[in-house]
Amino acid sequence: MAKSMGYGLRADPVLTRDGTDVADQTDYRTLMSVRDHGLEGAAKDLDVTCTTVRRRLRKLERRLGGQVHHRGDLTPLGLELLVAMERNIRLLSEQMEHLWKKPTLTCDGFASRGGKVLLVKRGRDPYKGSYALPGGIVEYGESAEDCVVREVLEETGLRTSVKRLVGVFSSPDRDPRGHFVTLLYELEITGGKVMGGDDAESASFYPMDDLPALAFDHHLMIGKAMEPRGR
């Protein structure tokens, strides 16, 4: 059996000037090592020859149009460039950290019929085997209303239309995978036939006064949907 591969994402900072790349991570490490150890010390620190260090510095100087190194020390231009790189590396790191910590927007649908609510049996973790309202993640470029109609169709086989927004559920700990904010919509069933699909093992209607074990905070969401209007 082939070994599964895990993938990650790395963003390396590149300093630009007037839309042109002037310094990358290799340049940054070279400048930093020359500043801290001198030319010969930098060669040892970077495990390259002095010739390689000089060649890197000359290439950098051609891109900048100025001298960054003189007699073993960085020039004011070299120090200025190093400070700019350090600042931008820090900013990029902060931005990447913030990027991955954004809340994820999802939508769930509340569709009822004859005192029963439409639920799916989850086929994946978390809460595999438990029951939940049908729903999923809003795709880029998709409206929340289109998302909930699409997800309900994919997971249950039923066509629906949006009646109203029931509420927003945004507790940071409501989902063990991370911070998921969901919009709960009350839906009107317009057609189709109930059958489980996508990541749902099955789909069916369950009595609202005798619900199975529910995943996430869906018991709160169903309770909110069942509240009399105006509350």
**Residue 28 in contact with residue 85, Cβ under 8 Å?**
yes
> Which structural domain range is residue 55 located in?
15-100
Residue 5, pLDDT score? 57
Rounded to whole angstroms, how far apart are CA atoms 144 and 231? 24
User: Which domain CATH number covers 20?
Assistant: 1.10.10.10
Q: pLDDT digits over 90-120, tens only?
A: 888 877 777 667 899 999 999 999 999 999 9
Question: Are 121 and 209 part of one and the same domain?
Answer: yes
Q: Judge whether residue 9 has pLDDT over 90.
A: no
Q: Is the Cβ–Cβ distance between 205 and 117 less than 8 Å?
A: yes
Q: What is the model's pLDDT at position 197?
A: 67
d(CA 80, CA 65): 14
CATH classification of the domain holding 123: 3.90.79.10
In sequence order, which residues have a C-beta less than 8 Å from that of residue 194 and are 6 or more positions away?
Answer: 118, 156, 157, 158, 203, 204, 205
Lowest model confidence (mean pLDDT) among 25-34, 151-160, 180-189, 192-201 = 192-201
| Domain total in the chain | 2
**Nearest in space to 103 (alpha carbons), one of 168, 54, 16, 197:** 168
Tens of pLDDT, residues 142-154: 999 999 999 999 9
- What is residue 33's predicted lDDT score, i.e. its pLDDT? 95
Q: Is the pLDDT of residue 59 over 60?
A: yes
Local structure of residue 187 (DSSP, 8 states):
E
Q: Are residues 213 and 167 in the same domain?
A: yes
**In-domain check, residue 221:** yes
CA distance 202 to 130: 11
One domain for residues 146 and 204: yes
Same domain, residue pair 45 and 131: no
**Residue 1 above 50 pLDDT?**
no
- The residues with which 32 forms a beta bridge, in sequence order, are none
76 band by pLDDT with thresholds 50, 70 and 90: very high
180-192 and 104-110 strand pairing: parallel
What is the rounded CA–CA span in Å between residue 77 and residue 29?
Answer: 16
| Model confidence band, residue 8 (pLDDT cutoffs 50, 70, 90) | low
Whole-angstrom distance, CA of residue 132 vs CA of residue 139: 20
14-18, 30-34, 50-54: segment of lowest average pLDDT: 14-18
Q: What is the spatial distance between Cα 111 and Cα 187, in angstroms, rounded to a whole number?
A: 5
pTM for this predicted structure = 0.60
Residues 120 and 153 in one domain: yes
Q: H/E element holding 52?
A: helix 50-64
Burial class (CB in 10 A: 0-12, 13-18, 19+), 224: middle
